[in-house]
Amino acid sequence: MKFFSIAFFSFAFIASQAQPFETGRRSTAFIDAARSNRSISTELFYPANTAGNNVPVATGIQKFPVVVFGHGFVIGTGSYQWLADSLAKNGYIVALPATENSIAPSHEQFGRDIAFLCSYIISLNDSSNSFLYNRVKNRSAVGGHSMGGGASFLSANYNSAINAIFNFAAAETNPSAKAAALQTNMPALIFAGSSDCIVPDSNQQRMYSNIPYTCKTFVNITNALHCHFANNNGTCATGQIFSGCNSSPITASVKKKKTINLIIPFL
């Protein structure tokens, strides 16, 4: 297990490497028949030769692993496009579920949505009707920010086939993400921000400590704010303003570079 505290620098040797793909994007809805045909609206990002909406997957025979990432409380999926775009360009199929974005979300259902998408998108490898036919690797990781970070722990409990977990400033959920972490027996990369007053880094440290798997890393980004992980989403930043913690010497772009430079090699 490892702890890192990242100050104001970047891993330029990773960031400077060429990304092998462009990003394709599709807006779709997947149906979970096991939950009364629950419709899961999803933004899907994937490797392509040409960037754009509804473009074909990248040519070739390479199969791409799946990453499903959960949004924060009342934060739209667009605030995490920076992450999805970076992962897609590096060879991952990324799903951002848009469900449970009301002021009274069900954390359990959101966790189950994340878990379902991992398995369902992998199953599209065998579907001749899917544009992902024969292009999906049987490997998946889950992640999330704030509420979605907590839900990622729930999802890892709901789907034993998930291979890894990472999250940003994970918040406690109902059911408890801290309790779910005790059963999260997989490689883990947990991010926190030292200037986060919305969900303090002590919360992520507790979840990290509860993870039983020995291959795990806790990263505390010095001076990072809660909303840096959501690209300074306006709703999120308003909460920081009222909490008196909306100021930092680093920017969201610096924070994004730090996280991507660790997530890519982790995955």
Residue-wise pLDDT tens digits, 144-154: 999 999 999 99
Instruction: Yes or no: say if 110 and 151 are a contact pair by the CB < 8 Å rule.
Output: yes
Q: What is the pLDDT of residue 15?
A: 40
For the chain, percent of residues with pLDDT exceeding 70: 93
Q: Low-confidence residues of the chain, pLDDT below 50?
A: 6-16
Residue 259 CA, chain-centre distance (Å), reads: 11
Nearest alpha-carbon partner for 217 in 189, 185, 258? 189
pLDDT at 11: 33
Q: Supply the pLDDT for residue 225.
A: 95
pLDDT at 19: 76
Exposed / middle / buried, residue 23 (Cβ in 10 Å: 0-12, 13-18, 19+): buried
Distance CA 149, CA 132 (A): 27
Q: What pLDDT does 84 receive?
A: 98
Q: Which residues contact 99 (CB under 8 A, 6 or more apart)?
A: 40, 41, 109, 110, 113
The tokens for 8 are 């104001």
pTM: 0.93
